[in-house]
């Protein structure tokens, strides 16, 4: 079990560093891909709550260490949005189909970025930071990010559905 946790921590570290150093430097449509949040959703659906919680804590710690937000902002945003998405996953979207995965991801990405925006505004109001770290056209950028990430997530969903039995097909099959 400790080997699996260590392996997940190393993979999470690699994905976070890859997101920050490589993906964010790509041209604009591709730079919007948030592979950390996509990974958290797929770990939640495939491996379960415990491993996904490890990913949330570790990726929040790595993002807080590397990015220029005040320390703890990403951890708070990841944790609150993850708890909200996990409650939706266990109570409403239990079939693990493409549609429910996309809805869970949109909720995760939107709440995560909204919390980061609110925290950044709060830190600015109390003079902890000198400027708000989120663009003024928040919802315009958010819709573009969500659209690009849905396409990337659908491709990844189809790829992963060939390798695991935890993800269902797009169209649910009728029982005869």
This prediction's pTM: 0.84
Contact 96, 80 (CB under 8 A): no
For position 18, what pLDDT does the model report?
A: 93
| Inter-residue contact 19 to 67 (CB < 8 Å) | no
pLDDT at res. 113: 85
Q: Which of 113, 88, 111 is nearest to 99 (CA)?
A: 88
Residues near 102 by Cβ (< 8 Å), separated by ≥ 6? 150, 153, 154
pLDDT recorded at residue 136: 61
DSSP H helical ranges for the chain:
2-21, 28-31, 35-46, 49-66, 73-91, 98-125, 138-161
pLDDT at residue 127, rounded to an integer: 77
Q: Other C-beta atoms within 10 Å of 158: how many?
A: 13
* Residue 1: burial class (beta carbons within 10 Å; 0-12, 13-18, 19+): exposed
Q: What per-residue confidence (pLDDT) applies to 176? A: 52
If 0-12 CB within 10 Å is exposed, 13-18 middle and 19+ buried, where does residue 56 land? Answer: buried
Output the pLDDT for position 93.
81
So what's the pLDDT on residue 169?
64
Query: What is the domain partition of the chain in residue ranges?
Result: 2-26+33-161
Q: What is the pLDDT of residue 87?
A: 93
Residue 36: the pLDDT is: 92
pLDDT at 116: 86
pLDDT tens, position by position, 104-129: 999 999 899 889 888 888 887 887 76
In this prediction, residue 135 carries a pLDDT of 60
Block means of pLDDT (10 residues each) for the chain, 176 residues, are 85 92 87 91 88 92 86 91 93 83 91 86 77 65 87 88 73 54
């Amino acid at each position: 079990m400790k080997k699996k946790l260590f392996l997940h921590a190393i993979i999470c570290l690699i994905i976070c560093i890859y997101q920050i150093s490589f993906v964010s430097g790509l041209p604009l449509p591709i730079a919007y891909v948030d592979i950390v949040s996509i990974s958290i959703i797929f770990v939640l659906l495939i491996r379960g709550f415990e491993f996904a919680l490890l990913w949330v804590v570790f990726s929040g710690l790595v993002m807080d260490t590397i990015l220029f937000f005040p320390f703890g902002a990403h951890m708070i945003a990841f944790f609150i949005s993850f708890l909200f998405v996990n409650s939706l996953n266990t109570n409403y979207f239990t079939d693990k189909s493409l549609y429910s995965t996309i809805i869970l991801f949109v909720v995760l990405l939107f709440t995560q970025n909204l919390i980061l925006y609110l925290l950044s505004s709060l830190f600015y109001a109390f003079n902890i930071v000198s400027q708000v770290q989120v663009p003024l056209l928040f919802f315009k950028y958010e819709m573009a990010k969500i659209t690009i990430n849905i396409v990337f997530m659908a491709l990844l969903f189809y790829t992963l559905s060939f390798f695991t039995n935890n993800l269902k097909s797009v169209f649910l099959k009728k029982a005869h």
